[in-house]
Amino acid sequence: MKQGLRKVARALDWKKASRPNVGKGLSVCLKDAGGTYKVAGATVKMSSDGSAVLLTGTVEVGQGSRTALSQVVAEELGIKLEQVSVAQLDTDVTPFDVSTSASSSMTVMGLATQRAAQDVKKQLLRAAAKVMGEKADGLSLKGCRVRGAKGRGCLTATSSPKEQDRGAGLSHHLLGGGWGGVELEVDPDTGVIRILKYVSMADVGRAINPLQAEGQDEGGVMFGLGHTLLEEMVYENGQLLNPNLVDYRVPAFHDMPEQFISELVESGNGPGPFGAKGMGEGGVLPAASAIAAALDDAVGVRICDLPLTPPKVWRHLQERDSAG
């Protein structure tokens, strides 16, 4: 945690003095990184042409799970990514997954997918060992071929492996870290907060797909900026006054920080495939506390209820001046 905070501070030029009404803030948060007491299953089928099909209950809603899970299969079986396809979800044939939630897809479902692919790999190597006259332990898969000390053989020479349906679950509490740092400017006449720079660092364990992981983190930060600065359900006499996206303010492109830095911290300490752990929601958590701290640093006003709208900031500034 200390390492992440120091990285964020350096990216913000923490020791550099700020202009009037400009402040900086840091925050670090911990989150259940997905999958505590969760069970998931995956099936990997490999055809005689060397292609593979993954059956998984994880629902693709834009987080990139189909791509990342396919990468796990391709890596384990030594085939190209384009040789892996993900079957459409069908409750008749898709293995069980309790839900697509809690930053768990790459942790728990990723682990189930990896185990299923490893089982297929074992079957292939055992079959190839009989054909090649070698021990399975001395064989490896790479480039759609079985390689051994005496030579190599094409996968199509072996029998097609049976499908494998394996489950994975984590019975312990897994935490992931997220760091956020912000530099902002406050207009004392209007209470408007302008985000000059936002730095986010995500504890991902191992990024299976770095580009998608950065996108997840950036999206999480934007959700955090939304509930920190804009989003509020307004009621009058029990009636919701802003029940739609015309009246309910969510972040738009012009609300993005002028400088936006997202960095992945990879320590390889996650329980998922190749040391991965859940991420995405971790980008949401530090935003509010970092911005509130930066607001206090900029104008000496500490507000503990969200959102930090211009009218609310302006009223606190008036109260500060009256009390002073």
Q: For residues 186 and 179, what is the distance between their CA atoms, to the nearest angstrom?
A: 22
Is residue 200 within 8 A of residue 218, CB to CB? The reply is yes
Residue 197 DSSP symbol = E
* 305 contact partners, CB below 8 Å, separation of at least 6: none
What is the residue whose two structure tokens read 């996968």?
155
Exactly one of 82, 236, 281, 319 is catalytic; which is it?
281
* Residue where the block lists tokens 């089982």: 119
Which one, of 42, 51, 98, 97, lies nearest residue 69 by Cα?
Answer: 42
Known active-site residue 281:
yes
First and final CA of the chain: distance in angstroms?
Answer: 37
Q: Token pair 């692919």 is at which residue? A: 117
3-state SS class at 49: coil
Q: What is the C-alpha separation between 293 and 303, in angstroms, rounded? A: 9
Catalytic residues: 281
